[in-house]
Amino acid sequence: QVQLVESGGRLVQAGDSLRLSCAASGRTVSMYSMGWFRQAPGMEREFAAAIDRGGASTYYADSVKGRFTISRDNAKNTVYLQMNSLKPEDRAVYYCAARSNLWGSSSAYAYDYWGQGTQVTVSS
What residues have CB less than 8 Å from 70, skipping those under 6 apart?
Answer: 34, 36, 49, 50, 51, 58, 60, 79, 80, 81, 82
* pLDDT of 108 strictly over 90: yes
What's the pLDDT at 119?
98
What's the pLDDT at 43?
95
What's the pLDDT at 55?
87
What's the pLDDT at 95?
98
What's the pLDDT at 5?
98
Q: What's the chain's average pLDDT?
A: 96
pLDDT tier at 89, thresholds 50, 70, 90? very high
Question: Average pLDDT for residues 79-94, to the nearest whole number?
Answer: 98
- The 10s digit of each residue's pLDDT in 29-81 is 999 999 999 999 999 999 999 999 988 999 999 999 999 999 999 999 999 99
